[in-house]
Amino acid sequence: MSTVLYEKKGRIAYITLNRPDKLNAISPEAATELGKIWLDLRDDDNLWVAVLSGAGKSFCAGADLGGITTKSWKLATSATFGDRPTSPSAHRMWKPIVVALQGHVLGAGFWLALESDIRIAATNALFGLPEPKMGMATIFSALVPRHIPVAIANELLLLRWQDGFLCITRLVQQSGAAVSSLFRGLRFLLKLCVSPRTTSWTTHYV
């Protein structure tokens, strides 16, 4: 079974992290798949917007460290900027990404959320950067204040956890299936993104 699901419906690409038994932690295989998806999304002229979510009860618990320890960790193994980066910006992504957040939004998963253009969160979303307590570098820490206020970034980096709701653009109540609730909140935004009146953006990378 694919670790990342990729489906195209009209102008919208649906990307789903698909390791619910591991809280959608990003394995090397998932990182490779996600990188290929960003490239395909970027270059497919028929796709205008992407919806990113996680299967099961959580969005993403970060990188799947597996047998990696503080002594064996190295930059090449980083899920965000390593040999197989998952970061959309690492693949020069310029199309809007709408992310649906619930449950764990940690580490590399938190960075994926920050790199998305519109962030919709359920009330059970838990944001955090647990790397410092594990003795590992939060290598994107210097970039976090580009996306959220410095004080919120400091709290996340120094205290590991924060309710994180100052990081999002819209909050929806969790009731029943959280993903269904999130997608109801996305409906209007998706219609806006694929409207011919709002497709005048241009690529912003060099």
**Quick one: what percent of the chain has pLDDT higher than 90?**
27
Q: What is the CATH number of the domain that holds 86?
A: 3.90.226.10
Rounded distance between C-alpha atoms, residue 191 and residue 11, angstroms? 10
Is 174's pLDDT higher than 90? no
Please compute the mean of the pLDDT values over residues 172-201 and round it to a whole number.
56
Confidence of residue 87 (pLDDT cuts 50, 70, 90): confident
150 located within any domain: yes
Q: For 60-84, what is the mean pLDDT? A: 61
In a domain, 206, yes or no: no
Residue 206 has pLDDT above 50, yes or no: no
Q: pLDDT value at position 135? A: 63
For residue 205, tell me if it sits in a domain.
no
Residue numbers of the domain that contains 172: 4-198
Domain-located, residue 69: yes
pTM of the model: 0.78
Residue 40 pLDDT > 90, yes or no? yes
Of 80-84, 93-97, 126-130, which range is least confident?
A: 80-84
Pull the structure tokens for residue 57: 């009860």
Is 147 domain-assigned?
yes
Do 36 and 2 meet the contact criterion of CB atoms below 8 Å apart? Answer: no
For residue 204, being part of any structural domain is answered with: no
Per-residue DSSP letter, 60: B
- Number of domains present in the structure of the chain: 1
Task: Specify the pLDDT at position 123.
Answer: 83
H or E segment at 104? strand 104-106
Q: Does residue 152 lie within any of the structural domains?
A: yes
